[in-house]
A and B are shown apart, each in its own frame.
Chain A
Amino acid sequence: MNHYDAIIIGAGAAGLTAGIYLSRAKVKTLILNEGAVGGQMVLTHEIANYPGIESISGYELARNMKLQAQKFGAVIKSNIKITSFDLKSNPKRFVVNGKDEYTSDVVIITTGGRSRTLGVPGENEFKGKGISYCATCDGDFFQDKEIIVVGGGNSALEEAVSLTKYASKVTIVHQFDHFQAFEHYVNEAKNNPKIDFIMESKIIEFIGDEKLRKVKIQNQRNGEVFEKDIDGVFIFIGYVPNTEMFEGILELNQYKEIVVDKNMATNIEGVYAAGDSIAKRYRQVTTAVGEGTVAALSAAEYLNKFEKAEQVAEVSVA
């Protein structure tokens, strides 16, 4: 019988933190993860604002969290596919890869988010052949070449500046007439002689042969379309929450983020959520860790209603 006290969906910072807390509380915990362990944390080259750790790579931090959760007894199954599930039943039920069934008394959803794509013609075709979503991974392929950075938030402007180490010229293409980034990022970009700006504009098509050669750009104010020869395009336009599977089941806001209360509880009893999949303002490893903690403690308290009460109660207040 594959029954667990708690099932956590997702193994990013929030999910692994919840896994650490619950398994340390002797709650029999299973973490089901559709991708690689670490989530968006792994996409971060250097984490320098995690209290107590001066600097660490996202990969190292994720690896440490994973080992910590496993050490306390959490079972992690990654690269799986949840093919069906029922959050309203008691116990909650999940079918993995169309065959393996797991049940639990409580569920924590930490499915996180993924990089937003432009969704225009040519984008899939030229991914890895001129289009990238990771400056630290692929920046050095564009030594002395001309590139575009798409976006106007902190990531876009920060990465645009970092890419000037390699590129001969960086053009930032942004859909609005202003940036959403912090002022110091904007100033740094504006003061960099290698960076140009095309504002109020969108890329509407990627064009090339065996690799990306040019982009088609449309001005959002007057509709004018023009082409620009380019060697590479880096896209940093935010994240979309991985919540499609919960549409019509959990309460989501207009951005498809899961609505939770201060205890990280969703609209379904015994189902909690934390991390980048929930409605919130700041998306940081530290906030995900905090929410994972709250979700785990809330889940532990919920389990107290069942027979696991004595095991969980002491640790939940420790």
Chain B
Amino acid sequence: MLRTNLTHILSEQEHAKLLQENENVMVCCGRMGPMCIPVYEVMEELENEYPHVKFADMEFDIPDARVIRDLPECRNFAGLPFVVYYKNGKVVKATSSIQSRDQITSILDQYFSQEVKETATK
């Protein structure tokens, strides 16, 4: 299990449940490595700033991580971590390799902003 303070996804079932129960989900699938750790740290900090987004991690090397690794959106990825953003259970964005706080918040604001949420529910 990854040593982060994020919600850990340990199986395909937990992954499915998380998507079912949360409208906006960001999952970082990686290892405790140089490119992954900065992303986990940013996610931990953003948990308070984006309460309408569920932040979670998943160990890249467990068999059940195929739910991330085998996504069509990730088929050309060759750099950890794989980060996937889901809205209503559907992938809206996926990134490969290290991302800065600005890059992450830019994606969150684009796809999960409160304004988008309000518009979507009107």
Binding site for B on A (CB under 8 A): 35-38, 42-45, 57-59, 78-79, 127-132, 134, 136-138, 141-142, 210-211, 232
Contact = CB atoms under 8 A, between A and B. Distances in A.
Contact of A59 (B32, B75, B77, B79): B32
Interface of B is mostly: loop
B42 interface: yes
B28 to A, nearest CB: 13
B35 interface: yes
A82 to B, nearest CB: 13
Contacts, number: 72
Given A59-B34, A78-B45, A137-B36, 19 more contacts: A36-B42, A38-B37, A43-B34, A44-B34, A59-B37, A78-B41, A128-B95, A128-B97, A129-B76, A129-B96, A131-B79, A132-B79, A134-B33, A134-B34, A136-B34, A138-B35, A138-B79, A210-B76, A211-B78
A36 B35 CA distance: 10
Contacts of A127: 79, 96-97
B94 to A, nearest CB: 10
Contact of B38 (A35, A130, A136, A141): A35
27 contacts: A35-B38, A36-B38, A42-B34, A58-B34, A59-B32, A59-B33, A59-B34, A79-B42, A79-B45, A79-B101, A127-B79, A127-B96, A128-B77, A128-B79, A128-B95, A128-B96, A129-B79, A131-B79, A132-B78, A132-B79, A134-B35, A137-B34, A137-B35, A137-B80, A138-B79, A138-B80, A211-B76
B78 A141 contact: yes
A43 B80 CA distance: 13
Contacts of B36: 137
A19 B30 CA distance: 30
A37 B97 contact: no
Interface residues of B, number: 22
A43 B37 CA distance: 10
Interface centre among B38, B78, B79 (most CB of A within 10 A): B78
A129 B37 contact: no
A42 B79 contact: no
Contact of B97 (A38, A132, A142): A132
6 nearest interchain CB pairs? A128-B97, A128-B96, A128-B79, A36-B38, A211-B76, A141-B78
